[in-house]
Amino acid sequence: MAKKKKELGRGIKALLSNIETNNTKLEKKLESNSASSTSLVKLSKIEANPDQPRRQFDLEALQELADSIKVHGIIQPITVRRFGGTNYQIISGERRYRAAKLAKLVKVPVYIREADDVTLLEMALIENIQRADLNAIEIAISYQRLIEECDITHEDLSGRVGKKRSTVSNYIRLLKLPASVQTALKNQKISMGHARVIAGQDNTSDKLLLFNKIIKQGLSVRAAEAIAKHDSKPKSKSQKSNSSGLTSDVIKIKDQLSAKFGSKVIIERSAGGKGKFIIPFKSDNDFNDIIDTILED
């Protein structure tokens, strides 16, 4: 299994590099007896990939691209696979495909690649993550699908997409946010930083409480960190006694660390200044994410 994954990785690398170089003499079909080639294909014979992670396309930006295509043509070929005999399915480049339709092109340059469904999915997701302007939730969904459907680990995925494992895990954690928070992130009403602070809360009600405060008060990420759970909710007597040895500055730091690690950080400190940090974790992945975050700094 490991060998197969490694080979897939090389295939993706080759795909990404070849797309950049095959931008001339697109009319001539190359290496017709090989596993891939570049040629001109009728737009009517190409169809979108239903597994395309991108779900939203900016119509104004598409029209701008279409206007550019009318003048300069498609510089970067669309990557496709053979599908249904003489037809093709898009691996990557749906935005160019849509713009070409707006520009009323008859034929478009394509890079033809032979791929099975698993390889297709992996190439489509990774190519889009690396090249397309996906929002944070679309990236998170793509990461999650790669892990689940291509049977790879967080560590494998971080190598494939060129991101630190903690970054991959932070994106995937966004999928545990309430739907209203995910929608706000997609629509850029809150930032990735806000979402990370919200994701660090213990339960759904706390997440929504902090989210509503961020929206209503227009809080910055730093301000959101400062009023995370233990500052924003009334404390019981036992909670007050447990934190009686902490100054307001230390409590603020505790909340910032909780948001940073995505886990409730506990600071125990005596009047004399002695104490300890406790960072709970629920799984090996959580443990590794915390260690990665510490070592990054």
Asked if 78 and 90 touch (Cβ cutoff 8 Å), the reply is yes
127 labelled catalytic? no
Catalytic position from the list 94, 122, 127, 138: 94
Whole-number Å distance between alpha carbons of 71 and 68: 5
* C-alpha–C-alpha distance, residues 70 and 77, integer Å: 15
**Active site positions, annotated:** 94
